[in-house]
Amino acid sequence: MSAIASQPATGTLAVNDPATGKPIGEVPIHSLREVQEAAQRARAAQPRWAATPLRRRMEILREFQRLLCEQKAQVTSVITREAGKPRAEALATEILVVLDYVNYLVEAVPEFLRSESVRHTNPIMKLKRGTLLREPYGVIGIISPWNYPFSLPTTQVLTALITGNAVVLKPSEFTPFTSMEAHRLLLAAGLDPDLFQIVTGDGAAGAALLRADIQKIIFTGSVATGKRVAQAAAARLLPVVLELGGKDPMIVLEDADLDVVSSAAVWGAFMNAGQTCLSVERCYVHESIYDRFLQKCAEKTGKLRVGNGADRDTDVGPMIHQRQLQTVREHVEDAVAKGARLLCGGTPLPRLGPGFYAPTVLADVNHSMRIMREETFGPVLPVRSFKTEDEAVALANDSEFGLSASVWTSDTRRGEALARRIDAGAVMVNDMIACFGIGEAPHGGVKASGIGRTHGKFGLEEMVWPKYIDSDRIPRMKKLWWYGYGPEFFQQMSGFIEFLFHKKLRIRLRGGSKSTRSYLRRKLL
């Protein structure tokens, strides 16, 4: 049961520790009116912020970075308590990512926001000076999931703020307290509270945000909710970014280092209990190393310590809620019923708590099984063999998703060539998931994995709209294409087109002269 479903409509929402199932606090369920008021406050404050010198905006980010570095232990505890992940993992995949992302923003944004002069190719248009500006949208609505409750929304919030926007964030109902940590630190760093507001509640609060006075929505979550968000946004022509689910393939070529690649598969599948949009959801291994690879993966999986993320020794924590655990159960059962071999795991671990599931390695899976087609989002590594590179590429691309992928080989060039053939927003050669921690790397997918990007240059572009300003260098001259139509104008334009585009030099020159003569004979209105 979700935390929401167990709640009477009292106006508050309980948040549970996924390791124990026990409540750790509650947050208000904000009404449509409250969400709309938050957006209005943000809207009123935003023009002042956009006019604030970039230097000052960057100072606030730097101060936020300093405070986060200092208070990392506290933020990490909050993440672990409500998302369940091991504390060291929270440091590596949440805090570090955000700290580093601030460096990226501070370095990239001055150049990104600098006005750009636009060169004109058309000779007549050279009489004009073009300038491209990047304008903040206004208020960016951000709706986020629970699996990376700090790094996902915070990197989006920081990108929106530094480019001059205000933000209203609706965090997941399972992990609102983590977002409040980001909020607390940004306010302590000097940000005006109206510029970054958090509204809490379940899907209804997200739906309310879509009806509020926001100018763009950045949604991260499941495909099903993403479609609902896209429909609501379409009804009011609200621009959207959708960061949705994945079914990421890992391709292991025969020349890959077996020890390295088996460790990679185990980490890539079980990190955050498999609840990572970029985690290994399908693993394809060359037949010549298939058995040895499976044996190593099963051995290494057997050594993982499953438990409460707050314990120092824990490798794999709990799943976020029962619904998620049930999906994993069903996918594993379906695979085994259709002939997959269970090498280890395959069961919940109720003695540890309600949300624990044993890290599971499944061999001999195929694409008729749900585990190879639907997002499992749990601690399962399903593996099958392939014979040729072509077959591996076909299997990797045989999915409705296209978020990320990885290719493993000791021949980097071969890996890169294969990477180009895979339909995914990012493909890593000899690594996985880490692209989310590279500020410059655009994050996002193709196919059902979403629309648009966060992070990197493309992520910055999502936070602004381009404005083109054009100044004529000869303001006292009437334009050649204005009224005063008639046969001469036709001759002028026809000659001009020949001058610009005809393949033969003789005709081009003749066109130029015809155009000039006709122009001189014309009387412009």
Q: Where are the alpha helices (DSSP H) in 71-202?
A: 72-83, 87-90, 96-113, 151-162, 176-188
> Of these, 206, 318, 345, 359, which contacts ligand NAD (CB under 6 A)?
206
Determine the residue type at 341: R
In the chain the first and final C-alpha atoms are separated, in Å, by 74
Residue 235: what residue type? A
Site string for ligand NAD, 251-280 (x = CB under 6 A): --------------------------x---
Cβ nearer to ligand NAD, comparing 175 with 262: 175
Residue corresponding to tokens 């990512």: 97
Which of residues 62 and 373 has its CB atom nearest to ligand NAD in the complex? 373
Report the residue number, 52 or 222, with the smaller CB distance to ligand NAD: 222
> Per CB under 6 A, does 402 bind ligand NAD?
no
Residue 16 interacting with ligand NAD (CB under 6 A): no
- Matching residue, tokens 């077996």: 258
* Residues 23, 41: Cα–Cα separation, whole Å: 32
Pattern 328-367, binding to ligand NAD, x per CB under 6 A?
----------------------------------------
Footprint of ligand NAD on residues 233-252 (CB under 6 A)? 243-246
Binding residue for ligand NAD (CB under 6 A) from 31, 222, 366, 410? 222
**In the set 89, 94, 202, 374, which binds ligand NAD (CB under 6 A)?**
202
Sign of CA dihedral 494, 499, 504, 507: positive
Cβ burial of 423 (10 Å; 0-12, 13-18, 19+) is: middle
In the set 141, 249, 348, 450, which binds ligand NAD (CB under 6 A)? 450
- Closer residue to ligand NAD, CB minimum distance, 161 or 319: 319
Which helix (H) or strand (E) segment is 223 a member of?
helix 223-235
Q: How far is the CB of 368 from ligand NAD (least distance, A)?
A: 22
What residues numbered 361-400 form the site for ligand NAD, per CB under 6 A? 375, 377
CB of 200 to ligand NAD, least distance (A): 9
| Per CB under 6 A, 203 contacts ligand NAD | yes
- Taking CB under 6 A as the rule, does residue 101 contact ligand NAD? no
Q: Is 26 a catalytic residue?
A: no
Rounded least distance, CB 448 to ligand NAD, Å: 10
* Choice between 377 and 489, CB closer to ligand NAD: 377
Q: Which residue out of 243, 374, 462, 498 is catalytically annotated?
A: 243
Q: Are 166 and 43 in contact (CB under 8 A)?
A: yes
* 252 Cβ contact partners less than 8 Å away, ≥ 6 residues apart: 261, 265, 283, 284, 285, 286, 289, 293, 408
Contacts of 259 (CB under 8 A, 6+ apart): 296
Residues 128 to 167 in contact with ligand NAD, rule: CB under 6 A = 143-148, 152
For residues 83 and 251, give the distance between their C-alpha atoms in angstroms, rounded to a whole number: 29
CA 258 to CA 190: how far, in whole Å? 50
Q: Is 28 in the site for ligand NAD (CB under 6 A)?
A: no
Decide: is 452 part of the binding site for ligand NAD (CB under 6 A).
no
Q: Whole-number minimum distance, CB 163 to ligand NAD, in Å?
A: 19
Catalytic residue among 94, 277, 374, 462, which? 277
The nearer residue to ligand NAD, 243 or 315, going by C-beta atoms, is 243
Structural contact between residues 138 and 239, judged by C-beta atoms closer than 8 angstroms: no
Listed ranges 129-137, 222-230, 363-371, 378-386: which one lies at the site for ligand NAD (CB under 6 A): 222-230
CB 451 within 8 A of CB 240: yes
Residue 402: strand, helix, or coil: strand
Question: Does residue number 18 form part of the binding site for ligand NAD (CB under 6 A)?
Answer: no
> The tokens of 328 are what?
């994993």
297 is catalytic: no
Q: How many residues bind ligand NAD, per CB under 6 A? A: 30
Under rule CB under 6 A, residue 82 binds ligand NAD = no
SS3 of residue 241 by DSSP:
strand
Tokens of 344: 């280890």
- Hey, is 385 helix, strand or coil? strand
In three-state secondary structure terms, 12 is strand
Least distance to ligand NAD, CB of residue 178, Å: 12
Residue selected from 225, 262, 406, 515 as contacting ligand NAD according to rule CB under 6 A: 225
* CB of residue 92 to ligand NAD, shortest distance in Å: 16
Beta strands at 139-143 and 128-136: parallel, antiparallel or unpaired: unpaired
Q: Looking at beta carbons, which residue is closest to ligand NAD?
A: 206
Nearest CA-CA partner of 318 in 306, 330, 331, 300 = 306
Q: Do 384 and 366 touch, CB atoms closer than 8 A?
A: yes
Where does this chain bind ligand NAD (CB under 6 A)?
143-148, 152, 170, 172-173, 202-203, 206-207, 210, 220-222, 225, 228-229, 243-246, 277, 375, 377, 403, 450
Residues acting as catalytic residues: 243, 277
